[in-house]
Structure 1
Amino acid sequence: MMIDREPVTKAVIELLELVTGKPVGERTVPINPATGTPYAPPYTLLDPLDHLTDDHTLADRHTTAISAYQATFVSGPAEGDDDTRGGGEQAQWLADRGRKVIQRRTDGTPGYQHPLTIPGVHCDRREAREPGGTSDAGDAIITSVIRYRFFLEETGA
């Protein structure tokens, strides 16, 4: 068996939405299901990157995977004031929450405070690094970017 990408992506989106309290779109601006129109910022864009399922050994049974993602945290105008621009503080607030999704551990026990729930798959290690973002307020938005890597293993369940 092999770990599929789609359930991993769905779990990452659900986790980011839970912790930031803002919508997340996969590769595109998130759409409000009630109206069928794009959400206004702030929101997060999630881009799937590499999904490696081969450990390059003869005994590889493809029961592990490393899934990489890039999350772009997009700021927007102040709520109720369309004349304002997005700001670094708002983008950083979203990125801080996104970082906590990955790095915050439970108190005193192994594991992460916010589990990545994927049926039949366990995530035993996570990484996050910040390659940058945009900082030009003239763009009307400011972004902060985090790249994640999830180290996954099938549980047989």
Structure 2
Amino acid sequence: MIERRPVTNALQTLLATLTGYPVGKATVPLDTAGKPVPPPYTLLYSLDDTDADGTLADNNKAAIFDYQATFVSGPVPGQANSRGGLDQAEWLADRARRVLDRPADGSGGYLHPLTVPGVRCYHREARAAGGTSDPGDAIITTVIRFRLHLETST
């Protein structure tokens, strides 16, 4: 069986690295003082999972985990009348979509590793799932749903 928590932590780290902004697990990320950070940031939610990959060879050593990443834009701190916008939210999503990048030399695997001890991610999918806006808060979001196909590597 593949444990969910280490995979979630690895995806959180990978998304933060690719976007250059904090990622909170189902909550607004906090700064080093424990206070909520202002946008932009990403919210990562665990969704569905299955402990089988549907193959005949599956010996409970594979899993498929689904996640939702919500990319939150917002006003620029210190700039009066600034607002979050679709450009900022889509920029974050485009950076995160690099989770799917393959090596330019055609070698196997993914360019950006998902580092989970004892687990290999052999297939990744991403699907845009819309977004929301709240003009009153000057916040715009866009959403990607990631599906990770995993197997134990030991």
Query: What do you get for the CA RMSD once the two structures are aligned?
Result: 1.7
Q: CA deviation at 1:138?
A: 3.7
C-alpha displacement of 1:83? 3.0
Contact 1:87 1:137 in 2 (8 A): no
Question: Please, which moves more after superposition, 40-49 or 70-79?
Answer: 70-79
**Separation in structure 2 between the aligned mates of residue 124 and residue 57 of structure 1, nearest angstrom:** 14
Q: Number of aligned pairs?
A: 153
Query: Counterpart in 1 of 2:63?
Result: 65
Partner of 1:12: 11
TM-score by length of 2: 0.92
Deviation at 1:59, TM superposition (A): 6.8
Compute the TM-score of the two structures, normalised by the length of structure 1.
0.91
How many percent identity over aligned positions? 58
Structure 1 segments, 4+ long, off by >4 Å, are 55-60
* TM-fit CA distance, 1:84: 1.2
Listed as ranges, the matches of 1:70-109 within 5 Å are 70-101=68-99, 103-108=100-105, 109=107
Q: Decide which structure has greater strand share.
A: 2
Mark the runs of 5 or more structure 1 residues left unpaired by the alignment: none
1:100: Cα distance to partner? 1.1
Question: What SS does the aligned partner of 2:109 have?
Answer: coil
The equivalent residue for 1:28 is 27
The gaps in structure 2 that reach 5 residues or longer are: none
Partner amino acid, structure 2, of 1:51: D
Question: Is 2:5 the partner of 1:42?
Answer: no
Deviation, 1:60, is 4.5
Q: CA deviation at 1:136?
A: 4.7
Partner amino acid, structure 1, of 2:138? A
